[in-house]
Amino acid sequence: MLIKRLSVRGPRRTDATVAFQPGANVVRGLSDTGKTYVFQCLDFALGGSATPKPIVEASGYENVLLEIKHDSGTLTIDRRIGDGRIRIHRMSIQNLPQTSSVFELVGESETVDNISPLLLQISNIGQQHLRKSGAGETQRLSFRNIAHLCVVDEDRISDEIAPLYEDGSPYTRTFSKSVFTFVVSGVGGEIQIPKDDLASQRTAWTAKNQIYDALIADTEQRLTAISERTFSTPLTREAIEERLAEARTRLQAVAQETDSLSADRITMVADRDKSRSRAITVAELVSQFRVLREHYHTDLSRLEFIEESDHYFQQLSKIKCPLCGNDINEHTTHDLCEPQDESLPSVRQACSREAAKILTLMADLDQTVANLQSEGQMLQGMVEELSARIRHIDEEITTRLLPRQQEQQSLILDLVARRDVVVEEGLLAARLEQLREQREALGNRPSRPKPSNGSANTSLTIEPLLELIAEELRSYHVDASVVTFDGDFNLHLDGKPYRSFGKGMRGIINSAYVISLMNYARENRRPHPYFVILDSPLTAYRGKEMPVSDEEVADDIKAAFYTRLSNTPGDRQIIVLDQEDVPSEPKSRISATEFSKSHQHGRYGFLPDNIPTGF
């Protein structure tokens, strides 16, 4: 069954048409160009209950026409948009006359109430009754029960519910599983998934094998890095330990000598500072005593002047008595001026005695200054000697002991580094051997034993499908070493439930799910229409909002998706509607229809004279 062409038709309206080819088809366009309307028309023509959304651009269009090629020829499904009536024309759309209502045609056309039997017939599926409940009740298979496995809209493509279920209702889950079983096995019944099935064993084996491979690769890399660290003289661990002990002994001796000299230096610095302080004090005292001696000298000069003055007084011809103030010539007798206090010395005598005292003090002062100067010279010598000894200690520590200390420390660091390398190399070698033994003990990847002749085990048919899904995902550059089903046929990628991924990745996973199911059915001649229609598998649907970053699909996955799509064989068909560009390399192998959303470049959208009012 191959979809050839989709058209919408109406009186006085130009047909809006999209053609499709076997293999890969892409309808690409931005928002509001009609991609979703194309999908809704395809689904409606295939018996869907939902009428295409009424939009301004579609006003006047009355019929959806879907041309299908099948083993017995070509037919066109004609369905009214208004009342949903269906008419079948045994001809292509191009051969239908441009009439106001193709429902008036006779001859090779007929009206049907239900299109499902016809679609089942041309899909070579036929009439089937499948179990719908645990009580054994059955239900007739409809094409719509199959369609949801191959026609996936933008909501279901990223839903958390597995694509095999028509909806989230628990009442239809049994029948949905029966339909899935029918597609996978070609017969009714139930596919059993044992708790400890081969897929689970393979998942565990693959996970363990990957861990061992990663650990072994890391250990080998670290060993290689260690082997590249060459030393001038290879040493054993025992030799390294012996040299370390010797180096530590030498370092301890240097440290002890350094500590002893440092202690002596501290004492010398203290003594020098003390002597220097005393020398400063002595110098200050000498300076002060010199000032005092100058004062003494001044006093002596003053006394000498007084003595000389007395001598001059005696030589004056007319003088007054220094005691009574009377003129000497007027004194009648010498006794009139005799002093009343006989103990009062003469001025010259007093000055002489005072001068003698000052001279005595000056002699004592000169001796004290001489003593202080001698002490100062001694202190200065001590300061110079201690400073010289301190400089000698500093030079000894700096030029002899410190280099020896640094040399021994550097040697110790080198020996410790060598020891660490030797120890790490030994540990890594032992760990590498252990990891290789453990991986060897893991054995080969589990495989299912071949069933005995005549045995029927429907659970065996699940494995090839899972392998196809895993291969499909890996071709999209999705990390999926092992893909498994849980009891409800929900996918797990390397043990991670598919519903735990973001919307963007769920769209990719669901696409791989339905495409792989079609490929499995085609290759094993199982019941399936052998076409898949996907709406926005690469764009996480958020209404008119842009996809948020954590829900977007990576660019390399998008490119890989289109590359894989371009290799779709001609005996099946995939139709993708998305806004993502098709890379130039796979584009030549894809039947691409592009809506430019521009009246100046290419086709604006699906409907002619498109006015951008929202799709």
Question: What are the DSSP calls for 207-273, one per residue?
Answer: HHHHHHHHHHHHHHHHHHHHHTS--SS---HHHHHHHHHHHHHHHHHHHHHHHHHHHHHHHHHHHHH
Domain 2-193+457-595 sits in CATH at 3.40.50.300
Instruction: Tell me the C-alpha distance between 91 and 69, whole Å.
Output: 10
Convert the pLDDT of each residue in 408-442 to its tens digit. 999 999 999 889 888 888 899 999 999 999 988 88
Question: Is the pLDDT confidence value at 462 over 70?
Answer: yes
Question: Is the pLDDT confidence value at 101 over 70?
Answer: no
Convert the pLDDT of each residue in 558-605 to its tens digit. 999 999 999 999 999 999 999 999 999 999 999 999 998 888 888 899
Give Cβ neighbours of residue 365 (< 8 Å, ≥ 6 apart).
289, 292, 293, 296
Instruction: Tell me the C-alpha distance between 58 and 13, whole Å.
Output: 10
Residue with the bigger pLDDT between 17 and 494: it is: 17
Give Cβ neighbours of residue 477 (< 8 Å, ≥ 6 apart).
554, 556, 557, 560
Per-residue pLDDT at 485: 85
Residue 424: strand, helix, or coil: helix
Tokens of 482: 């092992």
Backbone φ, ψ for residue 266 (5° rounding): -60, -45
Backbone φ, ψ for residue 78 (5° rounding): -120, 115
pLDDT band, very low/low/confident/very high, at 278 (cuts 50, 70, 90):
very high
Residue 427: strand, helix, or coil: helix
pLDDT band, very low/low/confident/very high, at 457 (cuts 50, 70, 90):
very low
The percentage of residues in the chain with a pLDDT greater than 70, rounded to a whole number, is: 83
Instruction: Work out the angle between the directed axes of helices 555-566 and 462-475 (0-180°, nearest 10).
Output: 120
Lowest mean pLDDT among 51-60, 170-179, 235-244, 413-422: 170-179
For residue 108, count other CB atoms closer than 10 A to its CB. 12
Instruction: Tell me the C-alpha distance between 301 and 136, whole Å.
Output: 149
Question: Is the pLDDT confidence value at 190 over 60?
Answer: no
Per-residue pLDDT at 349: 82
Size of the chain, expressed as the number of residues it contains: 615
E-strand stretches of 389-505? 483-485, 491-493, 496-497
Convert the pLDDT of each residue in 230-269 to its tens digit. 666 778 889 999 999 999 999 999 999 999 999 999 999 9
Question: Is the pLDDT confidence value at 460 over 60?
Answer: no
Per-residue pLDDT at 442: 85
Query: For the chain, how long is the longest CA-to-CA vector?
Result: 194
Per-residue pLDDT at 543: 41
pLDDT band, very low/low/confident/very high, at 171 (cuts 50, 70, 90):
confident
Per-residue pLDDT at 113: 72
- Ranked by mean pLDDT, the top range of 15-29, 130-144, 471-485 is 15-29
**In angstroms, what CA-CA distances link 256 with 252, 264, 335?**
6, 13, 96
Per-residue pLDDT at 600: 83
Per-residue pLDDT at 461: 60
DSSP code at position 495: T
Tell me the average pLDDT across 178-186.
Answer: 89
Question: Is the pLDDT confidence value at 158 over 80?
Answer: yes
Tell me the average pLDDT across 95-101.
Answer: 67
Instruction: Tell me the C-alpha distance between 37 and 450, whole Å.
Output: 49
Instruction: Tell me the C-alpha distance between 527 and 181, whole Å.
Output: 10
Instruction: Tell me the C-alpha distance between 46 and 144, whole Å.
Output: 8
Residue with the bigger pLDDT between 524 and 307: it is: 524
Per-residue pLDDT at 323: 63
Per-residue pLDDT at 332: 53
Cβ-contact 119, 143 below 8 angstroms: yes
Per-residue pLDDT at 194: 46
Residue 513: strand, helix, or coil: helix
Question: Is the pLDDT confidence value at 458 over 70?
Answer: no
pLDDT band, very low/low/confident/very high, at 198 (cuts 50, 70, 90):
low
Q: Is the pTM of this model over 0.85?
A: no
Instruction: Work out the angle between the directed axes of helices 503-523 and 462-475 (0-180°, nearest 10).
Output: 130
Tell me the average pLDDT across 42-52.
Answer: 93
Give Cβ neighbours of residue 136 (< 8 Å, ≥ 6 apart).
none
Per-residue pLDDT at 324: 65
Fold match, 2-193+457-595 / 237-441: no
Query: Which CATH topology does 237-441 take?
Result: Helix Hairpins (1.10.287)
The percentage of residues in the chain with a pLDDT greater than 90, rounded to a whole number, is: 47
Tell me the average pLDDT across 327-342.
Answer: 54
Residue 129: strand, helix, or coil: strand
So where are the chain's domains?
2-193+457-595, 237-441
Per-residue pLDDT at 450: 57
